């Protein structure tokens, strides 16, 4: 799609994009960006597994759906809040990122409990560990890291 006001013959400066790397960002911003990526992976992985769960024999569907919803909502809201914090101007950015982590730590703890239950159900019902690896592990890493950071602060 061509943006309104841009000429089709105007060259796209792709070479300028190639110069943007991790070194262009502050450490706190990079950390938040990595956390957003982990949350997106967890969200997308669980969302993609919905049909598998729906068809899995022996799975408590009445319990699985609300628990999956908790994880999906928590990961989406936390990633969105971190993204908003990255766009904070000036030196306050690291404070805002820390506040988001502190605010969403209980949300991710609850999501981790739900993801743990889902991982156990997946293992029992279909014999896999995809939820444990792609959903629970990233959430658990964030919870542990954020807990350690806030206990030391």
- pLDDT tens digits along 1-14: 444 555 566 666 65
The helix (H) or strand (E) run that includes residue 70 is helix 61-86
Least confident of 95-104, 115-124, 139-148: 115-124
32: nearest Cα among 111, 112, 76, 96: 96
Q: How confident is the model at residue 102 (pLDDT cuts 50, 70, 90)?
A: very high
- pLDDT tens digits along 59-82: 777 888 899 999 999 999 999 999
DSSP-derived 3-state class of residue 62: helix
User: What was the pLDDT predicted at 2?
Assistant: 45
């Amino acid at each position: 799609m061509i943006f309104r006001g841009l000429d089709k013959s105007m060259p796209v400066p792709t070479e300028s994009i190639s110069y943007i790397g991790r070194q262009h960002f502050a450490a706190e911003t990079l950390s938040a960006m990595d956390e957003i990526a982990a949350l997106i992976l967890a969200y997308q992985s669980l969302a993609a597994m919905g049909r598998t769960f729906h068809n899995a024999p022996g799975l408590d569907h009445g319990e699985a759906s609300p628990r999956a919803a908790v994880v999906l909502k928590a990961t989406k809201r936390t990633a969105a809040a971190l993204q908003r914090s990255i766009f904070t101007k000036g030196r306050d950015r690291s404070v805002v990122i820390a506040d988001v982590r502190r605010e969403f730590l209980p949300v991710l703890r609850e999501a981790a409990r739900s993801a743990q239950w889902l991982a156990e159900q997946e293992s029992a019902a279909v014999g896999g560990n995809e939820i444990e690896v792609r959903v629970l592990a990233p959430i658990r890493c964030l919870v542990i890291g954020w807990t350690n950071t806030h206990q030391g602060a």
